[in-house]
Structure 1
Amino acid sequence: MEAKIEMEQNIAKIMDHNEFCSFATVEGNRPKQRYMALYNQGLSIHMVTDRKTHKVEELEENPHVSLLLGYEKGGTKDVVEIEGVCSISDNDELRKQIWKPEFEMTFSGPEDPDYVILKIKPVRIEYTSDNGEKHEWIE
């Protein structure tokens, strides 16, 4: 159990140092990827999107997602692959907690009905540390 907690802490530290990730959904039977800003508290993973985007429709049809982060300029040299299940939240408290002034370019404020949070619940995480050592976390 202690090893799993330590691994979760290591994964969270890596996510803390990577602002962006590649976020993949499934459209029909094909993967669809895009870069998105990553917000996390430990292994609680969130992303911000507009309710009117196509990805919301994709997630309503198939909530299984994949994230890839790390090994990019400004990030860490660790690579993290996350498989998870995504839900769409319009929880007011969470929206206020994650709100950033730069969101004002897209949304009128944290109460904007189109401002939603994607909540990713990890089910499997694989990460490769900068020394090449592979680790696997499973829910």
Structure 2
Amino acid sequence: MNQSELKEQVLKVIDNHQVGTLSTVREGKPYSRFMTFFNDDLTLYTATSEKTHKVNDIKKNDDVHILLGYEGQGWGDTYLEIEAKANIGDSKEIKEKVWNEELSKWFEGPEDPRLIILELKPTAIRLMNEGEDTPQTLEL
């Protein structure tokens, strides 16, 4: 699979799987939780509260790991392993870009000061379990 085909497959997995795990580093150990992701040309965004452990973790170490795509159907499920650098964002523009009504369960709206958007810029993306030629790494 060439890089163009690989990117197409990666985007397909991202577009079809918005829920995945986000892992941060806390006191030298990994810490994972399920998150919902929004994709913008391979940069992922996820909403959280300013007072969560993950925000504190990222302030100390901006390296994160994301798993997306596994459906739990068996050994051959295609998924992505994404290494990324996290940035804590609170600009009005990014909040409005990511905002959707599902977030109203936790926040009053995109103007809610507790709302933080994590911007996750991939440094490596590996496509896993997509035939014999995987894993394959997308060149970024």
Q: Structure 1-normalised TM-score?
A: 0.89
- Please list the CA deviations of residues 114-138 of structure 1 after superposition, one character each: whole Å capped at 9, or x if unmatched: 1111111100111124434311124
Instruction: Give the letter aligned to residue 84 of structure 2.
Output: G
Partner of 2:119: 119
The 5 Å alignment of 1:24-63 reads: 24-63=23-62
Contact preservation (8 Å) 1:12, 1:41: no
- Give how far 1:100 is off: 0.9
Distance 1:106 1:4, change over 3 A: same
User: What is the aligned-residue identity percentage?
Assistant: 31
Partner of 1:128: 128
Q: Secondary structure in 1 aligned to 2:122?
A: strand
Give distance in 2, aligned partners of 1:32 and 1:137: 25
Distance 1:39 1:73, change over 3 A: farther
Give distance in 1, aligned partners of 2:14 and 2:132: 18
Partner of 2:98: 98
Distance 1:30 1:100, change over 3 A: same
Listed as ranges, the gaps of 5+ residues in structure 2 are none
Instruction: Give the letter aligned to residue 50 of structure 1.
Output: S
Listed as ranges, the gaps of 5+ residues in structure 1 are none
- Give how far 1:4 is off: 3.0
Contact preservation (8 Å) 1:65, 1:85: yes
How large is the Cα RMSD of the aligned pairs? 1.8
Q: Aligned residues, how many? A: 136
- Please list the CA deviations of residues 31-78 of structure 1 after superposition, one character each: whole Å capped at 9, or x if unmatched: 00011111112301111100111110100000000001112159xx31
Partner of 2:18: 19
Instruction: Give the letter aligned to residue 133 of structure 1.
Output: D
Contact preservation (8 Å) 1:8, 1:43: no
- Please list the CA deviations of residues 77-109 of structure 1 after superposition, one character each: whole Å capped at 9, or x if unmatched: 311000110001112112111111121111111
Instruction: Give the letter aligned to residue 137 of structure 2.
Output: E
2:109 paired with 1:137:
no
Moved more, 4-13 or 99-108: 4-13
Q: Structure 2-normalised TM-score?
A: 0.88
